[in-house]
A and B are shown apart, each in its own frame.
Chain A
Amino acid sequence: MRQWLVALGIVLVVVTLTPSFWKKLERFDTGPDYRIPYDLSKDYWLYERRLARVASTNIVMLGDSVVWGEYVMADGTWTHFLNREAGVGNKFINAGVNGLFPLALEGLVRFYGRPLSHRKVILHCNVLWMTSPKADLSTDREESFNHAALVPQFSPRIPCYKADASDRLNAIVERNVPFIEWVSHLQNAYFGQQSIPKWTLVEAGGDPPLYPNVYRNPLSEIKMTVPSEPANDPQRGPLSSRHKPWSTNTTGTTQFEWVALDQSLQWRAFQRVIEVLRERDNDVLVVLGPFNEHLMAEQNRPAYRKMHNEIVAWLAKNQIPHVAPELLPSTLYADASHPLTEGYQLLAKRLYHDSVFQKWMSTK
């Protein structure tokens, strides 16, 4: 019994203290325009750590890849241009995460967003997540999606989420035990988002296949510096092949199967996010869209307009400051919801000079 008590005591000390010590030991540079690197999108422990560094005077912008900047470099994002408009280096903080639909955003805010309390928050509402029952996650057929660990595991029920009880409980445990989150951080930051054993067996292609990590020492991979975004990301920025207007890839328009707001799981989750933020004394401003209407089929627009108006009405009814920026020119959209660099620039300008926004900024 004594041996067990000693063992458990040691384990308890290690498990409790390691995450806190790690924060002090590991270098984490969050300069101007910092955003969580794409590869670390699921490192929620790091996300929380990043939010903890936000000063009380900063304004945090929350949302999915529209906020994060899917097609642009860090100096081409919405927050970058807002900072430029404000003439301050780091007033607006990019706290967007790739693929973060409202159901996952709710989990992120609820479980990792505590450092945000009492701050001004801009919450982006992307109606992309209501464009179809599949995007809304309300179909009965099983779907795999990003950030499954963040969504409600048991209630409210997400029909297309068919993980077994073990995976669901695993997600709940993970978000409540800092040590496990820290382990997940190690895997995300140093081992290519996988466990150490799996990392030792990673295949690098070739014939015969090559396994570059088999003789490497896993401990030497831990560099004690959080990896930052690559300086020249070939997937992003004006020089990348993806950074071009949506119409160069697509011909014709798209017919969306809009989900009615009162049926939408994502919209309800978005409402809950606002509720949580307000409970935490956050001063919330919602930015709605602007969704790429150019891409939408003509007969599809009335349904979109109706939804848009309903959202605005609900925000007004609940006295939530909101701005619905004007539609951008077609050439400034990369797809249905993501602007290109110039699009963000224009958007930031319009948003910053909006009277509602200015009024909201001026309140304490």
Chain B
Amino acid sequence: MLFHTWPFLVFMLIVLPGFYALRKTRLWLPWLTAASYFFYGWWNPYYLLLVVYSTLLDFCLVALMDHCPRAGQKTDVFARLTRLRFDDRLLKFAFVVSAIATLGCVVMALFGLQTLRPTMWVLGLILLLMTLGALYSSRRIWLLISLVNNLALLLFFKYARFVAENLNALFESLHWSVNLSDPSTLMPFGFEYLLPVGISFFTFQSLSYTIDFYLGNVQRERNFVRFATFVCFFPQLMAGPIERAKHLLPQFHRFPPVRLQNFTDGASLFLVGLFKKLALANYLSFYVERVYDNPKLFDAPALMLATFAFAWQIFFDFSGYTDMARGVAKLMGFDLILNFNNPYMATGLGDFWSRWHIGLSSWFRDYVYIPLGGSRGGMLRTYRNLFITFFISGIWHGANWTFVIWGTLHAAGIMITRELERSVFYRERVPRLAKQVAVFVFVCFAWIFFRANSLGDALLIVTRIFTAAWHDPQMPVLMLVLVALIWLYQFCYESRFRVILQSGLVRTGAAVFMILYLCLCASGGGAFIYFQF
């Protein structure tokens, strides 16, 4: 269900009044959970099982983690194994159940239905780890299970085919007679092997809770429904912003205070998001698709302009979704984090990443970059950590070498700008505008790899940009005017003229313009780019 479609309006017309009607009862939270599950199930009801499974497991893992000693306490493993002597009843229960379930899974994997065998092996492994976690009362093992489980889901649905194809190509080049089967053959009951929408978002959100609990950053959530709502809260379930438990979970503790301003702010955010998506992103996508689907037909100016258009398309598409998500949440009294903050106004690549997809970049910062050592330990270690973080960030976007190169380019770009920023000349003498333009050009260059249909296409585009002839790019003037207006708006927003933009007259005029433009010139539907990640 997409925010910009009529079914979503109908959905909201049912969910919102129901939510407010239940405000004085304890049912508002289950209502929200049910609505969120319905929202996800609308896309594919079978894959709803994944969300429920992931939520349930992480909820249990944190509960079990909470029953384990923090550190240093020795456990008598032998006594536990032979006499089931556990200090904690929950851990004992978990041990017995997990051990029996592991055996059950192994039996099923060996003798059960053929179609269920691969799933049973994986489940058996998770349960075995759980048995060990209970046996050793180890918080670390519980965390490990959460990591393995969430990342396994992600790896299987997102990367298994990519890995299998690449390994098969490698085996073939080495003349090895090994051929990995397609991951779709591992699906139980012949279910279609599809990338579950939003899997990268809800697994990361759920994972952040277990990691934060392990690190002592959040309290354990004892209410399953509340935790389930945190994982699957429908406005941000499909494409973020990726929320942290510390920020969003407390908001589900009591019915949020809803004021009139929630409605006006929520409606404003939603309108801006809708405009970005329907009027801008979809329009730009027509030109981008035309050029990127057939790059050899186009000359340097068209390729450059299509890349420029894609830079704005992906910004409008993704930030439009986020704005709508924030707007919808706001209508219910909840606050979601700001995910985009005029990223193309950044003066450095580090600055860019503190403005672009903030939910994800801060996730990588907190759970990958900093645990790797961050900027502690010298320049080389810092760059290594940056490289690893951006490499993972690239691959997070999809199973394709183009994303790996995109991530790596950004890592290189950050290293370069960090070095440049060390010099006084760059910091103080180079004009701000020049830095902004340079960052934008670099980001656009990296987008080529992000958007191209294949690595070959990306390289062809780069080559043609520098070698092909200069002919009329045939980009609609209307498109350029719209982008120029938005760019101008962002420049003003970051300058002392911001007060003008915030005046009532401009805001009212902008709202009228956006509504009428949407009625007159909306460019049709289409899913959001980030749904595929």
Contact = CB atoms under 8 A, between A and B. Distances in A.
A170 B523 contact: no
Interface string B519-530: 111111100000
Contacts of B512: 7, 10-11, 14
B479 A7 contact: no
A204 to B, nearest CB: 11
A201 interface: yes
Contact of B508 (A6, A198, A201, A218): A6
A97 B440 CA distance: 52
A108 B7 CA distance: 24
Most buried by B among A208, A211, A214: A214
A179 interface: yes
Contact of B478 (A3, A7, A211, A218): A218
Interface in A207-246: 208-211, 213-215, 217-218
A166 to B, nearest CB: 4
Max chain A CB contacts within 10 Å: which of B261, B479, B519?
B519
A200 B478 contact: yes
B422 to A, nearest CB: 45
A195 B523 contact: yes
Contacts of B261: 1
Contact of A201 (B286, B504, B522): B286
A217 B267 CA distance: 32
A219 to B, nearest CB: 10
Interface stretch (B169-177, B179-187, B337-345, B469-477): B469-477
A211 B287 CA distance: 11
Contacts of B5: 165-166, 169
Contacts of A15: 519
A180 to B, nearest CB: 7
A166 B9 CA distance: 10
Contact of A3 (B283, B479, B508, B525): B508
Contacts of B504: 2-3
A208 B297 contact: yes
Contact of B476 (A11, A165, A170, A214): A214
Interface in B251-291: 260-261, 264, 267-268, 282-283, 286-287, 290
| Prevailing SS type, chain B contact patch | helix
A200 B476 contact: yes
Contacts of A180: 519
A21 interface: no
A201 B290 contact: yes
A173 interface: yes
A183 interface: yes
B523 A173 contact: no
Contact of A214 (B477, B508, B516, B524): B477
Contacts of B283: 197
A128 interface: no
Contact of A197 (B10, B474, B521): B521
Contacts of A213: 476
A315 interface: no
Given A197-B478, A214-B476, A214-B477, A3 B507 contact: yes
A4 B476 contact: no
A364 B260 CA distance: 60
A217 B476 CA distance: 10
Interface string A155-179: 0000000000110011001000001
A165 to B, nearest CB: 5
A210 B471 CA distance: 12
Nearest to B8: A166
A3 B511 contact: yes
B19 to A, nearest CB: 21
Contact of A169 (B10, B264, B282, B286): B10
A196 interface: yes
Given A6-B508, A10-B508, A195-B522, 12 more contacts: A1-B261, A2-B504, A11-B515, A14-B516, A15-B519, A169-B5, A195-B521, A197-B478, A200-B477, A200-B479, A201-B287, A201-B290
The 6 closest A-B pairs by CB, nearest first: A169-B6, A200-B476, A166-B5, A7-B511, A197-B283, A197-B523
24 contacts: A1-B261, A3-B264, A4-B264, A4-B268, A7-B511, A7-B515, A15-B519, A166-B5, A186-B520, A195-B522, A195-B524, A197-B286, A197-B476, A198-B523, A198-B524, A200-B476, A200-B479, A201-B290, A201-B476, A209-B297, A210-B474, A211-B474, A214-B474, A215-B476
